Amino acid sequence: MKRVWIETYGCQMNVVDSETVMAILCGTGGFERASDVRDADVVLLNTCSIRDNAEERVWHRLDELGALKKRRQGTVLGILGCMAERLREQILTERPAVDLVVGPDGYRSLPELLAQGGGVNTELSKEETYAEISPVRLDERGVSAFVSIMRGCNNFCSYCVVPYTRGRERSRDPQTILREVGELFAAGYREVTLLGQNVNSYTFEQVDFPELLRRVAAVSPLLRVRFATSHPKDLTDRLLEVMAATPNICRAIHLPAQSGSTRMLELMNRKYTREWYLDRIAAIRRVMPDCAISTDVIAGFCGETAEDHAATLSLMREVGYEFAYMFKYSERPDTVAARTMADDVAEAVKTARLAEIIGLQNELSLASNRRDVGREFEILVEGVSKRSSERVFGRTSQNKVVVVGRFGADGAEHRAGDYLRVRVTGCSSATLQGEVI
Ligand code: SAH
Ligand code: SF4
Ligand code: F3S
């Protein structure tokens, strides 16, 4: 048995991909999971290229692992994921310690390549979805799992590497999705998050995304269903109606705006305007007034003026996001933006704008959390609080974390996977405090 250690960088899709890689390797009978990187025969880094700092972390980690490899002759070092796809040549020439370079669509070839001690496969596929492979779950809690429903992206937002590193968009057979979700529920899981770069464009034969969502939610009323990410251009009223009609589809939509300026959105090739985006927000509010809305924002994209930046801040206020992921623009080689636009916002200006965006979001998150104080929610318990062994934490349907006492009035312990009715008693901008009712 060879022991495999895998480290995951980047997005949730990479989490599932790492679990799929473990399933492929363990399925051969020749590999098992290592409990420590120092005992591993095979060390894999599943990497991300989305921003320069994501790649920097991996280069740095590679230096550390190169040193480890010197001490443990025979260890196979492999790079998987988006950096493998994007930087194959550079990795092979600059890091001789690397034995294996495999892109996101090549994981089925891993057993064969590892049998030879390494190799390269960065072929992208139009069909591969790893449909029938049930990922080996690496998170031990056993409550919440990611389920990949599609791969790739056809949107070509001008700043983004994903269409180049992940290839064309393709959807996974719904039968295999439903089977996997059924198995997860039977194994005690109580929440699944359906993943794709743009889940709204899921389509497989007669099944579109609202229909898939309905079928997944029908696996059990005790199973919570989430999904990410939705592209604003494809957020249909029918999706909102299916959500509203199905209580176990969570009241949370991640709808990345990227910018509040229509001029910027056009340069970004996002295919919607500020007005269109706000119309979608209004539709969500109309159909599900209790739905949380979160976003991604990029500060300092090519040509962004002070007015464009102000438009982003005003959009954020107008929507009143519950939560946001916020980034400085990082030019990615070979994207349309890198080829045709100047990365002309000074670093200091990007930093200042990002700080303003983060400051505003903290205000908005705190205001949203304050509105929840005194309200009742159902939470799904995920585990014991990191701060106190006397508390457990769980999430509301809106995806907010609530911390409550670990033991009930009768002394019984609240465990991961339990549903609890709670009243919110206090908050910070990041979490809610509550009591079980
Ligand atoms: N498919 C999803 C998000 C994928 S990447 C979507 O379209 O919303 C996650 C986020 O990273 C993006 O939403 C964007 O905000 C950010 N991002 C992507 N490329 C970037 C870049 N070059 N510089 C800074 N942020 C970037
Ligand atoms: Fe990137 Fe745009 Fe595709 Fe999202 S939709 S992965 S931002 S190209
Ligand atoms: Fe990163 Fe690739 Fe995901 S670039 S964000 S790991 S799709």
The answer on 327 and 266 residing in a single domain is yes
Domain range for 87 is 3-121
pLDDT at 138: 87
Please give the tally of structural domains in the chain: 4
Are residue 219 and residue 282 in the same domain, yes or no?
no
Measured in angstroms, how far is the CA atom of residue 111 from the centroid of ligand 3? 23
Residue segments in the chain with a per-residue pLDDT below the cut of 70: none
Q: Is residue 83 part of a domain?
A: yes
Query: Are 165 and 177 contained in the same domain?
Result: yes
Q: What is the CATH number of the domain that holds 334?
A: 3.30.750.200
Tell me: the pLDDT tens digits for 398-428?
Answer: 999 999 999 998 899 999 999 999 999 999 9
In the prediction, which pLDDT does 139 show?
Answer: 82
pTM of the complete model: 0.96
Give the closest residue (by CA) to ligand 1 atom 5.
50
| CATH classification at residue 161 | 3.30.750.210
- Same domain, yes or no, for 392 and 350? no
Mark whether 165 and 150 lie in a shared domain: yes
Distance 327 CA to ligand 1 centre (A): 8
Question: Looking at the structure, do residues 180 and 115 belong to the same domain, yes or no?
Answer: no
Answer whether the bond into residue 229 is a cis peptide, omega within 30°: yes
134 occurs within a structural domain: no
Q: 306-322, pLDDT tens digit by residue?
A: 999 999 999 999 999 99
Would you say residue 185 lies in a domain? yes
Q: Is residue 128 part of a domain?
A: no
Domain CATH code at residue 391: 2.40.50.140
Together in a domain, 185 and 265: no
Looking at the fold, whether 227 and 268 belong to one and the same domain comes out as no
Decide: 50 in ligand 1 pocket, CB within 6 A.
yes
**Among residues 229, 250, 271, which one ends one of the domains?**
250
Q: Are residues 20 and 117 in the same domain?
A: yes
Mark whether 176 and 238 lie in a shared domain. yes
Which residues partner with 249 through β-bridges?
Answer: 225
- CA-to-CA distance for 235 and 218, rounded, in angstroms? 21
**Residue 252 Cβ contacting ligand 3 at under 6 Å:** no
Dist. CA 161 → ligand 2 center (Å): 8
CATH, residue 54 = 3.40.50.12160
- The verdict on residue 161 lying in a domain is yes
Classify the phi-psi angles of 329: left when phi > 0, otherwise alpha if psi is within -120 to 50, otherwise beta: beta
pLDDT recorded at residue 141: 84
The answer to whether residue 132 is domain-embedded is no
Question: Hey, whose CA ends up nearest to atom 6 of ligand 3?
Answer: 48
The pLDDT, as a whole number, for residue 437 is: 92
- What b-and-e string marks burial along 142-163, b requiring 16 or more CB atoms within 10 Å of the CB? ebbbbbbbbbbbebebbbbbbb
Q: Is 353 in the pocket of ligand 1 (CB under 6 A)?
A: no
Domain shared by 322 and 338, yes or no: yes
Q: Please check whether residues 146 and 101 belong to one and the same domain.
A: no
